[in-house]
Structure 1
């Protein structure tokens, strides 16, 4: 996510205390994990761990968190446990490990790779909501007091439905609660310290872990980093700016590379025409008038293509939309994660309390992103307006006091976690070092030898690259990694 930098609430979290709690949290020692081969893949071990539903009341109701482990392939050279913190919110770390190790063979040989499904998702007491209701969301573009009230009513209705189906987990899905769950399975693993890697929204969990448990951090990589210091307005504008930056880079590529289906055309003008048709209700899937595409869908699917980035495919799709002819691949709409708003709203105070303010924030986004009109945040944050659960972990500058250095990775042209979010975090955290990937897309670790080896050396030897280190961009057509658009966790 991207630019802008004013610290917001400046809340100081004392190590070992839950935000808003009046007494320290004291939990019973975590039981040992009963590792068994996972049914889906016997190479991976699975277990569950009971944790408090509400960490402010550790003796109260318990839930189970699903965890998974890929043991180090070289037991004699094992260093410890490396925790993969998935993005999202809503990404499942268990599924990631079942599919393979997210790290290089060197790290997989030296560490037990451990991950989890965050509370409220996957196998960890998942929040259940009515699918039809979730998919029947309102038009989120501003339209006066009546539409603003419609958004508020919808958010309250979804929250009430989720609560009726799943109970109070809806109030306890914030990143601090997830960080406490991680420390519970640190105890269950028998580790004094953890090495941790967070991707996208997982970087917020990583920051909250380091803030609350600084002595238990052996190493921490924050890849494509969230900036939790931003006010709601700053969050929305910087998200729009980074989306527009990615569009600008796409248009530059299209002007220079004959492989672009729109090469030689004004890409911005093509996109603006499509957006205007979408606003007028005149845009539909190529050759299929029964499948309309609205302006929010158009911008969201375009943004999704920037995650890879998948520029050539995007150009093919935009040309097909413009010419109403089939594309080699269909225009991919963003994946719906039906329950993710509950986690996001536990971490972000979106204090938009009137139709006038809502319209103002959309205007600011439109000005910051004249083609894209808004960014990922604008497509998500509306769900927190009048959300009835408390904000357990509101924005603040994380107070991180680890002895271990922290490595921050970010692309210069990330469509979701903007580069100046990374520079803000680097500035806020004294012991952080920022490594810049001079390219595009979301997620840096596996972009090339430069990024992978820098992170691997840090995890194995504890050595961070020199401040100001840059890794050269890998042209998108040469990078085989496909990164689907799933919110911040791509």
Structure 2
């Protein structure tokens, strides 16, 4: 276990042989014993998240947390939380905190999706959603008008140089906007885990149950490491290898993304009469690199949008991560192919919604949170980005053969390569015996299965539920309108109901 640079835990516990002070000794008592005032969640007329929560019977509150847990008497931040109360007070077990991933994603209403998956087990818990620090309603950061940088840098040197400029501009915008220079060093995953424990204590709960997916899974692992004594029933879904940096994790995913594209191509070839993209997997797949090459050379005009290789790469990654998206991806590739040869095309609704989001002002609300966490974490689960820009170009070219579609995306240069702020503390090293349940899709190509296996070995008290799916996120599929895997959902709900882990790792069929 890593020795923390400062005494940070709310409850006293031994860390690396040193005794961490209690909340009174560390100055955190004003946060852990603060009053919680519940109000309606909607804040304004166009607040869809708030209205959704209000309609579900949720209430919302705002807590204060230290900006710097090493200086709890200093500046504070706001953290927004929501609560869906347990339906049966007599059976109420406690609180279950939720996180939808990211980093950079608000999660105030994520408890609604989790409640769908929990079915009647939700009656036993107060479900708590929250926007992590610097996101959503929780003292959000701004970087001004910035572009989405986590996208393909292309295979031409001119495209790569443009991607370098974008990353540098995002770094400059984030670091120089307002008083971000004081805030950004404190955006780490470890600090978000500490905020979670302040939420637990402020709600007057002795322990915390938790469900997190994707980055939320990594956040849950960090929480168990920092707060093993207050970790109750913990479920982490679609996690990563804690020994790999964020840059390395992207390249790890590339091979499985290419395999996912192969699976999609085979599925689409079997429906050649419907989509007209080819009657073999090879012919279908060939459409994709051709579109990327065309979009890099000359953006494709479709429905009032201009789709360059950067936009297209992000869309492809999003689509190929879920086998449920196969039909949408096939329609979109057909639409883009037709538009590329000059046909007048109306993009299908899913493609149009993606383009509207990633070409509009909403992007500037996503970028700060993603960038801040990735650059504040020294190593796991994000960080470790090379500072030598030529390293990215070298890796880009080296992966062209093995990852012809996704290599230029997974070697994209990060604003962290231009970051001025060193990490305030080492990243949290994972390795503990806290009992918890892991869930993972075997063919996940966003957080590959090998990463979950590596984390499973570090979390020696864990059990792993494996589902034979190409999917990212398993347990909350029902809340997202996707087909559920009853085997996995039943295993999670049994654990949340009884607190008893499966006697051994479990394999679930599709």
Scaled to the shorter chain, the TM-score interval is 0.7 to 0.9
Match of 1:38, SS state, is coil
Partner of 2:467: 437
Q: Does 1:373 align with 2:407?
A: yes
Q: Which residue of 1 aligns with 2:391?
A: 357
Q: Which residue of 1 aligns with 2:334?
A: 319
Q: Contact conserved, 1:176 with 1:393, CA < 8 A, in 2?
A: no
Alpha-carbon distance in structure 2 between the residues aligned to 1:101 and 1:433 = 22
Q: Which runs of 5+ in 2 are unaligned?
A: 10-14, 43-50, 478-483
Q: Deviations over 1:154-205 (max 9, x none)?
A: 244212333x255622221111101001101111111111111111111121
Cα 1:304–1:231 shift into 2, 3 Å: closer
**Among 261, 282, 296, which residue is 1:279 paired with?**
296
Which SS does the other structure have where 1:115 is aligned?
A: strand
Q: Does the aligned pair in 1 maintain the 2:217–2:238 contact within 8 Å?
A: yes
Residue of structure 1 aligned with 2:240, choices 222, 226, 230: 226
Give how far 1:16 is off: 5.7
CA distance in structure 2 between the aligned counterparts of 1:169 and 1:107, rounded to whole angstroms: 39
Within-5 A mapping of 1:25-424:
26-29=26-29, 30=32, 31-39=34-42, 40=51, 41-42=53-54, 43-97=57-111, 101=115, 103-131=117-145, 133-134=146-147, 140-141=153-154, 143=157, 150-151=165-166, 153-162=168-177, 164=178, 166=180, 168-231=182-245, 234-257=248-271, 261=275, 262=277, 264-265=279-280, 266-281=283-298, 283-286=299-302, 291-308=305-322, 309-324=324-339, 325=343, 326=345, 327-329=347-349, 330-331=351-352, 332-333=354-355, 335=358, 336=363, 337-339=366-368, 340-347=370-377, 348-374=382-408, 378=411, 382-392=414-424, 397-402=429-434, 405-424=435-454
- Structure 1 residue 257: deviation in Å? 4.5
Given that 1:96 and 1:102 are in contact with CA atoms closer than 8 Å, whether structure 2 keeps it comes out as: no
| Count of aligned positions | 454
Alignment correspondent of 2:487: 450
For the residue of structure 1 that corresponds to 2:256, the secondary structure is helix
- Note closer, same or farther for the CA distance 1:170–1:396 as it changes in structure 2 (3 Å cut): closer
For structure 1, the residue ranges without an aligned partner over 5 or more in a row are 1-9, 474-490
Please give the root-mean-square deviation of Cα atoms over the aligned residues, in Å.
3.1
Q: Distance in 1 between matches of 2:389 and 2:214?
A: 31
Whether the aligned pair in 1 keeps the contact of 2:246 and 2:374 (CA below 8 Å) is no
TM-score by length of 1: 0.84
How far 1:152 moved relative to its partner?
5.9
* SS of structure 1 residue aligned to 2:78: strand
More helix by share: 2
User: Looking at both structures, which has the greater relative contact order when contacts are Cα pairs under 8 Å and sequence separation is at least 6?
Assistant: 1
